[in-house]
Amino acid sequence: MTTLQESIDVEVPVNTAYNQWTQFESFPRFMKGVESVEQIDETSLHFRTRVAGIRREYDAQILEQTPDRCIAWVSKDKPRNAGRVTFESLGQDLCRVNVELEWEPEGLLEKTGAAAHVDETQVSSDLLRFKEFIESRGIETGAWRSSVDRGEVDAE
């Protein structure tokens, strides 16, 4: 498994950054390798990606989601990947978005890219595009404020 961690400070309130991140179907607007995300239900997503000419589709399950704090997921099938995004308030209109990803590179091209840290560059660029996207808008495109624990929506 390959692991990477990237962070970026964003000049919006933490709830604005978190709310935008819950709008998974908007990921292609700022994530270069994501062609589409379909939200199947409250905790299931279908991803279509294309990175370095390699097209992949997979389903992911949200395992944990706590408003303004974190979103964690795992793929249900190949390509194997998991991740966690955390949100830290740094002030009234400033927050830090931290991304941690784990995945299994498949094939020579993906293994070479991982060894050359191409993945870190991609995630860093995606975070920069997220920052530009949400700061230029100043408001999220939507929000989902429920909590998820061990893949189940909390009924609070």
Model pLDDT, residue 79: 76
- Are the C-beta atoms of residues 125 and 32 closer than 8 Å to each other? yes
Could you give phi then psi for residue 134, rounded to 5 degrees? -75, -35
CA distance 9 to 11: 7
Using 50 as the pLDDT threshold, list the residues of the chain that sit under it.
none
pLDDT tens digits, one per residue of 2-11: 889 999 999 9
Q: Is the pTM of this model over 0.75?
A: yes
What b-and-e string marks burial along 5-38, b requiring 16 or more CB atoms within 10 Å of the CB?
ebebebebbbbbbbbbbbbbebbeebbebbbebe
| Domain spanning 2-21+62-141: CATH superfamily | START domain (3.30.530.20)
pLDDT tens digit string along 95-127? Answer: 999 999 997 767 666 666 655 556 778 889 999
pLDDT at 97: 98
pLDDT at 1: 73
Q: Which amino acid belongs to residue 48?
A: R
Q: Where do the domains of the chain lie?
A: 2-21+62-141
